């Protein structure tokens, strides 16, 4: 084995060993750690500046009660799509592990991450029920694109998709759990998710950088394209258009205003700026097609 590959393998194991140790010290049981009954009148479910319609003419016309209600449904939409993302990520991780050494720390950590994602999905489902909201599913086209990504993504493409889901939500959730204007239950859920997802992000970043160093030109081009498609899927899935109808708004007009909102576009770019900088450095975002897709998603 060439020296470079030996160095990369050792680094991969060293990273996994540290992440396994952190998992032993800082993992949570949501059934115990979340104050599931802590719902208070007059509190947001996400900070108002993160609500998709914030700053639009429709937002200015909405009474406070309806704004709070929209934040509740948008929190449920984000959690619903979070479950869908987690299910895709677990499949990508099992694909990644399939031909690797099952005794390695790298695979042990991948299995640990899958266990984390299972807990997170159950936690999100319980939060949606406590918020008395429906499960918001992506539309048929987005579900098809998700199926495409989980089936045909390259290994670096799979880790890019992982980071897409995790880093965007992570940056938004870091604004939620310290905010005392937000429901205590939601703050508990986001705190757990942020702490445990930080390990997943480190694992995915390390592996993506490693994979992009060694993959061939065809795999690199396909990774760029499929990752751009994933960016569009993620950005357009976080908030379901159905949330607007469920709080008594005109669905199509609300969707139009949200998509035209400069504040919303800036929020999306802000949520992804650390990720897009990293992906440009590693060569995932490069060339007119991939760059165009990321701009189409309003993440760049």
The answer to whether 275 and 290 have CB atoms below 8 angstroms apart is: no
Residue 144 has pLDDT above 90, yes or no: no
The pair of three-digit structure tokens given for residue 12, joined into one six-digit string: 């991969």
Which carries the bigger pLDDT value, residue 76 or residue 160?
76
Mean pLDDT across the chain: 92
Q: Is the pLDDT of residue 225 over 50?
A: yes
Is residue 146 predicted with pLDDT exceeding 90?
Answer: no
Instruction: Give the DSSP per-residue string, 196-251.
Output: HHHHHHHHHHHHHHHHHHH--HHHHHHHHHHHHHHHHHHHHHSS-THHHHHTTS-H
Residue 230 in contact with residue 293, Cβ under 8 Å?
Answer: no
Return the pLDDT at 4: 42
Q: Which of 62-76, 132-146, 174-188, 249-263 is least confident?
A: 132-146
Instruction: Concatenate the DSSP letters of all residues of 125-141 into one string.
Output: HHHHHHTT-------HH
Model pLDDT, residue 2: 39
Domains along the chain with CATH numbers: 3-22+59-296 (1.10.620.20)
Give Cα separations from 109 to 16, 24, 150, 203 (angstroms).
6, 11, 20, 9
Q: Is the pLDDT of residue 6 over 80?
A: no
pLDDT at 235 (0 to 100):
87
Look at residue 244 in the predicted model and tell me its pLDDT.
Answer: 98
Residue 145 pLDDT greater than 50, yes or no: yes
Neighbour-count burial for 16-34, b at 16+ CB within 10 Å, e otherwise:
beebeebbeeebbebeeeb
Give the confidence band of 234 by pLDDT, cuts at 50, 70, 90. Answer: confident
Question: If pLDDT is split at 50, 70 and 90, which confidence band does 236 have?
Answer: confident
Q: Where are the alpha helices (DSSP H) in the chain?
A: 3-25, 30-33, 57-61, 64-97, 105-130, 140-152, 155-176, 184-214, 217-237, 242-246, 251-260, 262-282, 288-296
What percent of the chain is modeled with pLDDT above 90?
Answer: 79
* pLDDT score, position 151: 83
What is the percent of the chain with per-residue pLDDT over 70, rounded to a whole number?
97
**Helix, strand or coil for residue 80?**
helix
Please report the pLDDT score of residue 10 as a whole number.
54
For residues 165 and 84, is the Cβ–Cβ distance under 8 A? no
Residue 159: pLDDT over 50? yes
pLDDT at 139: 87
pTM: 0.92
Within 10 A of 259 (CB to CB), how many other CB atoms are there? 12
User: What is the spatial distance between Cα 167 and Cα 198, in angstroms, rounded to a whole number?
Assistant: 9
Residue 268 burial class via C-beta count within 10 angstroms: exposed 0-12, middle 13-18, buried 19 and up: buried
Residue pair 93/161 in contact by the 8 Å Cβ criterion: no
pLDDT computed for residue 8 by the predictor: 53
Give the pLDDT band of residue 7 (cuts 50, 70, 90): low
For residue 124, count other CB atoms closer than 10 A to its CB.
25
């Amino acid at each position: 084995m060439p020296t470079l590959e030996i160095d990369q393998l050792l680094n991969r194991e060293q990273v996994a060993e540290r992440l396994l140790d952190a998992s032993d010290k800082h993992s949570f049981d949501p059934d115990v750690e979340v104050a599931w009954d802590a719902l208070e009148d007059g509190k947001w479910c996400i900070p108002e500046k993160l609500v998709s319609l914030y700053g639009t003419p429709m937002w200015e016309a909405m009474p406070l009660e309806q704004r709070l209600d929209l934040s509740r449904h948008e929190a449920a939409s984000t959690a619903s799509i979070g479950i869908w993302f987690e299910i895709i990520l677990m499949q990508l991780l099992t694909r990644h592990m399939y031909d690797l050494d099952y005794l390695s720390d790298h695979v042990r950590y991948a299995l640990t991450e899958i266990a984390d994602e299972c807990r997170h999905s159950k936690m999100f489902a319980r939060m949606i029920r406590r918020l008395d909201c429906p499960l918001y599913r992506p539309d048929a086209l987005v579900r098809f694109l998700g199926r495409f990504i989980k089936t045909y993504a390259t290994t670096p493409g799979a880790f890019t998709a992982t980071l897409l889901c995790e880093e965007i939500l992570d940056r938004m959730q870091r604004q939620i759990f310290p905010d005392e204007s937000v429901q205590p239950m939601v703050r508990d859920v986001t705190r757990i998710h942020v702490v445990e997802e930080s390990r997943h992000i480190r694992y995915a970043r390390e592996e993506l950088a490693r994979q992009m160093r060694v993959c061939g030109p065809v795999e690199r081009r396909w990774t760029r394209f499929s990752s751009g498609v994933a960016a569009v899927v993620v950005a357009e899935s976080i908030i379901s258009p159905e949330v607007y109808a469920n709080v008594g708004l005109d669905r199509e007009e609300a969707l139009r205003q949200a998509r035209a909102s400069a504040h919303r576009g800036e929020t999306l770019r802000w949520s992804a700026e650390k990720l897009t900088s990293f992906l440009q450095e590693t060569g995932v975002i490069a060339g007119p097609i991939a760059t165009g897709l990321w701009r189409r998603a309003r993440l760049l």
